[in-house]
Structure 1
Amino acid sequence: MKKKIVSVITASVLSLTMLVGCAAKGNSDESSSGAQKQSTAKDKIVYALDTAPTGVFNPLISSTRYDANVNSVVYASLMQVDDKGGLKNYLAEEYSISEDQKIITFKLKSKAKWHDGKPVTAEDMAFTLQSMANGKYTGKNYDDVEKIKGAKAYHEGKSDSIEGIKVKDDTTITIEFEETYAPALTNLSTLGIIPKHIWSQIPIENWEKETKALNAPIGCGPYKVTKFESGQYVEFEAAEDFFEGKPKTSKLIFKVVNPDTIQAELKSGNIDIAGVKDMRKSDIKALNTEGLKSVEFSDFMFQYMGINLRLPIFQDVRVRQAFMYAINRSLMVDKLLEGRGEVVNAPMLPTLWGYPKASDINDYAFNIDTAKNLLKEAGWEDRNNDGVVENETGEKMHLTLKCPVGSKTREQSAVIIQESLKQIGVEIEILTMEFSTLMEEVVSNHEFDLYMMGNTLSLDPDPKPFWHSSAATDKKGVQGYNIVSYKNDKVDQLIEKGLSTLNQEERQGYYEEIGKILNKDVAQVYLFLQTNEMMYNGKLKGYEPSTFNNFNNVHNWVIE
């Protein structure tokens, strides 16, 4: 699940008080030879998805990586993450930070337009921020604006406006915070901006039900949606008024492809770009000989098995720890990933700062005996020799594992988990379903024992959206991204401390401590971080994917 795409801003960067500008670089002034070359280029690029978007094409309320793919090319943010993990200006012409580091000023590019021709203004940015602070807002981004001056009063209905948000003119907006807020610049500058003239006409509590507006979004990014066929594809056409120049390729298609057919589809030319991290190395090499190219980079999503901590059976940490010991996660990396990844032991990206030192956490090395002993200590043992453990009342440990279809590696991991837990007397029934169904049953209605999912994280390792008690909900129909409902006062305190300082060394200490606690508590079964690998048409130019921006430079993609 992906909260937002952000980048690390160190204290030295945040202390800048001068304006940092970045001129827009368009492609409209091509030479005659360039124009002639463009005329022979392919008019469309087909990008493969292994899981279908749900159709929630609004960045403020979307909650899946697959909808985020669509939103990333339809909407624009003030800044983007570049291929080195830094921030670069995008919709913003320039920005500045006050000396006390509590006020950020953004100046937008004046020529930006929405896909319906209306100008993009600072009022749209103000409306985007205000929407996230609305008490009836159902999305997951309130944390991003909570510390803006006056946002809490507005959220609680005590004020009609947010004092800290000021529109100076059509292209200038200032955002003032009550106190220092470490992720402020990254979180707000990389958020997709929505059009006020569209979404202000719809009650915010009804946004998720407004299928027409969601399926045919109006953004100001390089491409606009022309057709969405649920479960099959999304078609886009180039936005001629895009503020960085008309995209070089007139059509873009996101096509939902069965993972089993990706190799054939790439070879035949039916798709031009596809994720192949689940493909065998030998198959990738074979495609390389066909003229296709591949690129590897670290992913920002780790795989895990969620545990419903609301259930009495999982409130004993020894049961959760037993599961970690019983699953051979190293085998998953070696066999399923062919070594292209690493085991994780805390719900953070091991490639980034904030992840605890290996010597400070339990690696839960595969050990069936240890797992069985932990279950026995927790009161679960095979009392009648039928191969399944029971508690003192005779209740058997029979659990359901919900797994979304689409990722072959995730589905295979579920089977390995089922077989592993069987060895310690735990019966697992696997239920496969569409990702949208899983989201409804697990995230919205909290109806699960166990589930398989990937957690998409950001370069700024703020754990509040996933691990703060305020991010958990037990109310049916209300989404909470602390999905497992983990609550720990010490973790809450450490999270708050980490958000209140710009000193990265201090923040790192707080987050490492959080990682150690979550490692011991086994708030979910942490599996592995898989290396991302994309394969693409050998004639594709301008394709520069990176860990936090798979659609970097998309307006300059072209197949020649």
Structure 2
Amino acid sequence: MSKSLMGKYLFVLMLALFLVLAACGGDDEEGAEDPDEGSEGTEETESEEEEEEDEEEAVDPEDQIYDIADFNTAASNDGDPIDGGSLNFGLVSDTVFEGTLNYNFYSGAPDAEILTWIDDGLLDMDENFTFTQDGAATFETDEENNSITFTIRDDVQWHDGEEVTAEDWVYAYEVIADPEYTGVRYGTVGFSLIEGIEEYREGESDTIPGIEIHDEKSFTINYERLTPSLLTGGVWTYALPKHIFGDIPVAEMEESEYVRENPIGFGPYKVDSIVPGESVSLVKNENYWRGEPNLDEVTIRVINPSVVVQELETGGVDLVSSFPVDQYPENANMSNVEFLGQIDNAYTYIGFKLGDWDAEATEVNYQGEDMKMGDVELRRAMWYAVDNDSVGERFYNGLRWSGSTLIVPSHPDYHDDSIDVPSHDTEEANRILDEAGYEDVTGDGFREDPDGEELVINFASMSGGDVAEPIANYYIQAWHEVGLNVELLEGRLHEFNSFYDRVGQSGEDDPEIDIYQAAWSVGSDVDPTGLYGRTQLFNFPRYASEENDRLLAEGISDEAFDVSYRQEVYSEWQEYMVENIPVFPTLYRAELRPANERVVNYDIQTGSGVYLYELGVTQEEPVVAE
């Protein structure tokens, strides 16, 4: 048998083994239902011959392959919402939410899900992720003077009744640019291009020189230059109420009661109470600027991925933050919900540690070949060794699929699917490792490094749904198959918050981590600087090069206002990252969001024109599965 056929055969065996292990996962199975349950008590009967015929034609749900293009983004319920009512929203997570409930300080997706209910950005976006004039503020661009003037509508109020002012919006810029700021927002082009912002950051000015407040509702930001990124998410649109935060030291704001216990915004719902890490109770904001919300109350609570199906079937939740796509095939016909879906602005990836974070210089300390994973040929072989097509089909039934480049297909104008990327080829992986000098010197089945030294690669991965562990184990076994001794860090998966702290979000990189599996939500702006720029904390592989600097700068240059030019730049950048491999994408993602049949006025697509204040229910009680 050839090496490639043997590799494919072993892949199938490994998948089968890992799925059995997942099905026997102890606590992970709590609340899960036997797929044969629910068939008792039906009134229909069939002859044995008909039963045999049906069995032959039936498709096992685990073998069904789905296409995200077949899903709608909007709930089809066209009924009228009742007056008031309450709705239950499930925050799907295997861990507690952090509870940093202010856009200026949060970093994790679970907190962001909560924030969408209680706060708004001041600018709206269309379906192409471009700012519009339909939000709580309007804007006027002055290309000659490299400035943008913003004007807040008169009817926009904080939850405590105070007006949202230009000073509040500017205050958010001042806090984020303050050297004592503890969050992760500073450094993007929306800040770095503001005139005089470094003077302010270094204490040479009490205000940001490039920002001019005109009156209570309007102000102008003067930039060193304008870039296309500013109008596709680059402008920071989240105000900070100065009448509340103005007396709190910047270094203490993130831990203050107005972030952790009594968060305030100007969104459609207000926080009534919080059970830290577990749930948030909301009541409607009767003075919401778009109009009074239909619902009286919303309860957000964490639900484990292992019980999300049960919660949906029983009406315990009406909506969820996400639905584990690996559970979809067995539940595609759930009778009381409608599954909505779209291409997610996200990808899963394998990252390689190539340096650490220099906190003093606030930039990446790239160490390249001095790091264990510094050899690009080693990284290239590890990409060839894994079969992401089969992972997407077998674990996710096509609702996640093999990734290629670091600009995802949710941005179709910039994603370049013509670039040749490594795909599963065990023979090619072995050839690359052989030529690069990685040989099994000791005869134990694992390769030593080119210097003949033992090579053990520590792999960090997150906990999650039922497939998190078997997928991590598959990757390890795939690398074992080409002779690389990869071991799961500390022999276990790590929960969301501690994982990202150790990978580098805390500003300290755990030296025990050599490679890691993580995921990014890429946001609205196609500019990848926030994840791969030299000065970005989120650049977890700690990769930097002059060519990467050049391409990222070109993508936000004056010339990049020409869309075709920008497309060329980002195509070149995608190819450059495929060649240098600080990370490689494993899977692109479908986003599935089921909605109870009583839910009305709900659309998951950005720029759809359907807003949360319009969300309603057509009856008091949720529809329960039959």
TM-score category, normalised to shorter length: 0.7 to 0.9
The correspondence for 2:595, drawn from 525, 536, 539, is 536
The correspondence for 1:262, drawn from 308, 330, 336, is 308
Shift of 1:90: 5.3
CA distance in 1, matches of 2:579, 2:120: 40
CA distance in 1, matches of 2:299, 2:610: 16
CA distance in 2, matches of 1:349, 1:392: 35
Shift of 1:549: 7.2
Letter aligned with residue 522 of structure 1: I
Question: Counterpart of 2:182 in 1: which secondary structure?
Answer: coil
Kindly indicate whether the alpha-carbon contact (under 8 Å) linking 2:392 and 2:399 is maintained by their aligned counterparts in 1: yes
Q: 2:496 maps to which residue?
A: 435
Q: Deviations over 1:44-64 (max 9, x none)?
A: 332332254211112122111
Matched, 1:193 2:251: no
Give ranges in structure 2 of 5+ residues lacking alignment: 1-78, 356-369, 619-626
Q: 1:81 maps to which residue?
A: 125
Q: 2:523 maps to which residue?
A: 458
CA distance in 2, matches of 1:549, 1:429: 44
Q: 2:329 maps to which residue?
A: 282
The correspondence for 2:92, drawn from 44, 49, 61, is 49
Shift of 1:279: 3.7
Q: 2:541 maps to which residue?
A: 484
Identify which range, 503-512 or 134-143, moves more after superposition.
134-143
CA distance in 2, matches of 1:55, 1:317: 39
- Number of equivalences: 513
The correspondence for 2:275, drawn from 214, 222, 229, is 229
Letter aligned with residue 378 of structure 1: A
CA distance in 1, matches of 2:206, 2:265: 27
Matched, 1:181 2:227: yes
Kindly indicate whether the alpha-carbon contact (under 8 Å) linking 1:77 and 1:90 is maintained by their aligned counterparts in 2: no
Q: 1:470 maps to which residue?
A: 535
Letter aligned with residue 331 of structure 2: I
Q: 1:6 maps to which residue?
A: none
Kindly indicate whether the alpha-carbon contact (under 8 Å) linking 1:322 and 1:370 is maintained by their aligned counterparts in 2: yes
Q: Deviations over 1:311-370 (max 9, x none)?
A: 6211110111011000111111211221123322222113425646344x3321111122
Shift of 1:454: 1.0
Shift of 1:254: 2.2
Q: 2:421 maps to which residue?
A: 363
CA distance in 1, matches of 2:450, 2:149: 63
Over 3 Å counting, the alpha-carbon distance change for 1:83 and 1:362 in structure 2 is: closer
The correspondence for 1:495, drawn from 543, 548, 552, is 552
Q: 1:13 maps to which residue?
A: none
Matched, 1:320 2:379: yes
Question: Counterpart of 1:298 in 2: which secondary structure?
Answer: strand
Letter aligned with residue 63 of structure 1: S
Kindly indicate whether the alpha-carbon contact (under 8 Å) linking 1:545 and 1:551 is maintained by their aligned counterparts in 2: no
Kindly indicate whether the alpha-carbon contact (under 8 Å) linking 1:72 and 1:551 is maintained by their aligned counterparts in 2: no
The correspondence for 1:331, drawn from 390, 413, 426, is 390
Kindly indicate whether the alpha-carbon contact (under 8 Å) linking 1:354 and 1:461 is maintained by their aligned counterparts in 2: no
Question: Counterpart of 2:391 in 1: which secondary structure?
Answer: helix
Kindly indicate whether the alpha-carbon contact (under 8 Å) linking 1:337 and 1:530 is maintained by their aligned counterparts in 2: no
CA distance in 1, matches of 2:526, 2:514: 28
Question: Counterpart of 2:254 in 1: which secondary structure?
Answer: helix
Kindly indicate whether the alpha-carbon contact (under 8 Å) linking 1:78 and 1:90 is maintained by their aligned counterparts in 2: no
Q: In terms of Rg, which structure is larger?
A: 2
Question: Counterpart of 1:470 in 2: which secondary structure?
Answer: coil
Q: 1:296 maps to which residue?
A: 341
Matched, 1:446 2:509: yes
CA distance in 2, matches of 1:89, 1:268: 41
Identical-residue share of aligned pairs (%): 24
Q: 1:25 maps to which residue?
A: none
CA distance in 2, matches of 1:281, 1:533: 9
- Which structure 2 residues correspond to residues 19-418 of structure 1 after superposition, within 5 A? 38-39=82-83, 42-51=85-94, 52-83=96-127, 85-89=129-133, 91-100=135-144, 102-142=146-186, 143=188, 144-187=190-233, 191-210=237-256, 213-274=259-320, 275-287=322-334, 290-310=335-355, 312-353=371-412, 355=414, 357-359=416-418, 361-391=419-449, 395-418=453-476
Over 3 Å counting, the alpha-carbon distance change for 1:456 and 1:282 in structure 2 is: closer
Kindly indicate whether the alpha-carbon contact (under 8 Å) linking 1:107 and 1:171 is maintained by their aligned counterparts in 2: yes
The TM-score with structure 1 as length reference comes to: 0.86
Q: Deviations over 1:289-327 (max 9, x none)?
A: x13111111100101122111262111101110110001
Kindly indicate whether the alpha-carbon contact (under 8 Å) linking 1:314 and 1:320 is maintained by their aligned counterparts in 2: yes
CA distance in 2, matches of 1:216, 1:379: 59
